[in-house]
Amino acid sequence: MDNNTVVLLANIASDLGEGGPMSSDPSGFVTLGNAVLFSARTPGVGRELFIYQRALDQCNVCDGDSSSCADCAGAANGIRVVDACLLCIRADDPLKDVSCLGCDGIALSGLVFDVCDDCKSPMDPTFGQACLDCSGTANGILVEDACGICGGSNATCTDICGVVFGDGLSCLDCFGIVDGNSEIDACGVCNVPGSLTFNSSCSDCLGIPFGTASFDICGLCLSEDNPNRDQTCLDCDDGIFGDKEVDACGLCLLPSDPLFDATCAGT
């Protein structure tokens, strides 16, 4: 410290001690540029003059702690900022505001793509479920069959006729033969269609089931109300398959009778 500074400080000390113009601050402090001067009595020593040099911090704040311009990392005049993802990151970092984007493009939405490529929240009960097959495999190909078996072929609940949950009767014929061709005919008899006996047990002579036709005395198959029934084989004397005929004289005689055609001859 040079002599001029000592003299200046002594004069300031004198002014402070005597209540001079530089002691107008009630606290007894005097600001001189960046310095603060104050005096105090020290027991056994007397009045002393103290000087405190004030300084600017990195934020250009006098006596500051450089916190007023600190970035999120605590660096004065730093370039880091808190992004939308709440990360302390350089403002020019390409990951700024990106690292926490959901699949919906919204920061901190929490949405992500599941195994089914659906954009959902992991808390969603349907998360990763939409594309699961019955075995729980994402985008798998297995499905439950009609019997409730995953990847099954319906075999466990299919009857002998190939009907799911069937009673096994739909393919049996009337004899109980699987895929047999017998069936109940019109007469109520189990028979093979096209056979000679099919519908025969209740058919009349015309082949009509429950028909009324029958063979007459002449051997013709006619219905009961047919006017020709029992007539076609009668001779003129109503003899069944008789040989009598009406001769030229109008008599019903056997052709071998001497009177046949004779009774009216020469008249």
Q: Are 79 and 85 in contact (CB under 8 A)?
A: no
Compare 16 and 32 and report the one with higher pLDDT: 32
The dihedral over CA atoms of 54, 56, 57, 58, expressed in degrees to the nearest 10, equals -160
Beta-carbon contacts of residue 105 (< 8 Å; ≥ 6 apart): none
From the list 42, 45, 36, 48, the residue with the least C-alpha distance to 10 is: 48
pLDDT at residue 118 tops 60: yes
Tokens matching residue 233: 């084989």
Phi, psi of 225 (to 5 degrees): -95, 10
Query: What pLDDT is stored for residue 3 in this prediction?
Result: 42
**DSSP 3-state of 201:** helix
Helices (H), the chain: 3-18
Q: What percent of the chain has pLDDT over 70?
A: 79
From the list 62, 76, 14, the residue with the least C-alpha distance to 39 is: 14
Q: Using pLDDT thresholds of 50, 70 and 90, give the confidence band for residue 23.
A: very low
Q: State pLDDT tens for residues 228-254.
A: 999 999 999 999 999 999 999 999 999
Q: State pLDDT tens for residues 142-179.
A: 999 999 999 999 999 999 999 999 999 999 999 999 99
Q: Are 13 and 47 in contact (CB under 8 A)?
A: yes
Q: What is the mean pLDDT of the chain?
A: 83
pLDDT at residue 134 tops 90: yes
**DSSP 3-state of 5:** helix
Tokens matching residue 253: 């005689």
- Specify the range with the lowest mean pLDDT, choosing from 43-57, 96-110, 121-135: 43-57
181-186 mean pLDDT: 94
CB neighbours of residue 242 within 10 Å: 14
Query: What pLDDT is stored for residue 32 in this prediction?
Result: 57
Q: Which residues pair with 107 in a beta bridge?
A: 101
Report the alpha-carbon distance of residue 167 to residue 208 in Å, rounded: 35
Report the alpha-carbon distance of residue 168 to residue 184 in Å, rounded: 19
Report the alpha-carbon distance of residue 195 to residue 179 in Å, rounded: 18
pLDDT at residue 46 tops 70: no
Report the alpha-carbon distance of residue 161 to residue 179 in Å, rounded: 8
pLDDT at residue 8 tops 60: no
91-112 mean pLDDT: 89
Report the half-sphere exposure of 217 (CA within 13 A, side-chain side). 10
CA dist 50 to 7, 11, 14, 39, Å? 14, 13, 13, 6
60-71 mean pLDDT: 84
Report the alpha-carbon distance of residue 26 to residue 20 in Å, rounded: 12
- Share in percent of the chain as helix, strand, coil (round to 5): 10, 20, 70
Distance of CA 258 to the CA centre of its chain: 108
Report the alpha-carbon distance of residue 32 to residue 38 in Å, rounded: 11
